[in-house]
Amino acid sequence: MDQQLIIKKIVSLITFLLVMGVILGSIFFSQIRANFISLVETISMSHPIIILGVLGSFYWMFSDVPRQMIKFSQSKGDLKKFWEDL
């Protein structure tokens, strides 16, 4: 396998796990929910240019996550199939 492809898959997997951790953590743990709300409030108090930069980078980093969630649900727990589909 190409080394660049492996690195891209690893980065995609890490972002998927981060988003899923925040989503599940926000549902089950109030401290994670409070930290996330505090982060959003802190970012919104900054200058508009910083907000646009942060939002743009979040969009760029996490734009593949919905597709990865669909692939994960379609793999039905088969992690090898999920890894090949990334």
Residue 17 sits in which domain range? 3-85
Q: Tens digit of pLDDT per residue, the chain (86 long)?
A: 688 888 888 888 888 888 888 888 888 888 888 888 888 788 777 777 777 887 788 788 777 788 888 888 788 777 777 777 77
pLDDT value of residue 1: 60
45: alpha, beta or left? (left if phi > 0; alpha if psi -120 to 50)? alpha
Which residue matches tokens 């900054």?
46
* 62 Cβ contact list (under 8 Å, min separation 6): 15, 19
Report the number of distinct structural domains present in the chain. Answer: 1
